[in-house]
Amino acid sequence: MTKPAGIIAATATLFSDAEGAVDLGGLVSHCRRLLALGCDGVNLLGTTGEATSLPVARRVEVMRAVAASGLPLDRFMVGTGAASLADAAALTGEAVDLGFQGALVLPPFYYKGIDDAGLSAFFEDLIARTDRTRLRLYLYNFPQNTGIRFSTEWIRRLRDRHPDVLVGLKDSSGDIAAAKALARDLPGFAVFPSTETAVADIGSGAGAFAGVISASLNVTAPCLGDWRDAGDLAARIDKAGAIRAALSEVPLVAAVKWALADLTGEPGWRSLCPPLVPLNAGQEARLIAALAKTDYHSLRDSFTARRPN
């Protein structure tokens, strides 16, 4: 199966009611739009997708809807992490059985002070419960939210035991230097920082990234859709980076969903699953002012011209 690489959008989830039901058709259409806009792949049910706020049954429902849609599953990485080992194993097994390219797994994030022995117990059991001939596991390093930072030596040990299973890591720490060091120290291990401003560092050399997995690509994908052949890549990255910085001035998931509602004309995108809430009036005004200083409004035609069925 092809390994994911390049620009990968961490898709937002479209809800159909206040109870957290997912608009499955709308979500599938959005995933199709992201690929049409030039994204190399999609990260389904991650942080931007509010996955940890959804019950296991709903996450499975989303996976099955995407799997049945005809979308190319070899371009999808699915977030399957959970604080419960049983839940994480069930979700990961479902992703593997449905044929998704990879499973992106958070560490168990509730109890603090988890050491390497605890992490090993969790991930060894998770791998043992899943079809290892097909599992492609990506660690999700997000210490700000989980309280856990994967160490290079721990990753190396787990990878040595499961070289065909543990294939990469998404790094949402914001520490690009550390992400580059990890890519350099673990040759062949796919590292994905969480910002499109790192697109210029995608490559195959020592310390290069396999790609980027970013929430703001839901919005900025038109800036970078043909990034491999773009003669003006630096300018495109600057444009995307400025929009990302504006979105980041307020809570990012809510900002991304506000922008999707604005760009697509689909107000349902403004809904979030508690405990996340939509932007308040002050935050919305701040976001609008920040976006006005960027090329954000030039993106509108790209979204209205691609309204997938």
**More confidently predicted of 204 and 286:** 286
At position 20, the amino acid (one-letter code) is: G
152 is in an annotated binding site: no
The confidence score (pLDDT) of residue 205 equals: 86
Percent above pLDDT 70 for the chain? 98
Fold observed for domain 6-228: TIM Barrel (3.20.20)
Q: Which residues belong to the active site? A: 140, 170
In contact, 216 and 12? CB cutoff 8 Å: no
Predicted confidence (pLDDT) per residue in 67-106, tens digit: 999 999 999 999 999 999 999 999 999 999 999 999 999 9
Predicted confidence (pLDDT) per residue in 145-203, tens digit: 999 999 999 999 999 999 999 999 999 999 999 999 999 999 999 999 999 999 999 99
Residue 41 pLDDT exceeds 90:
yes
213 is in an annotated binding site: yes
84: how many CB neighbours lie within 10 A of its CB? 12
227 vs 7: CA distance, rounded Å: 9
Whether the full predicted model's pTM is greater than 0.85, yes or no, is: yes
DSSP 240: H
In contact, 179 and 173? CB cutoff 8 Å: yes
Residues 6 or more apart whose Cβ sits within 8 Å of residue 60: 90, 91, 94
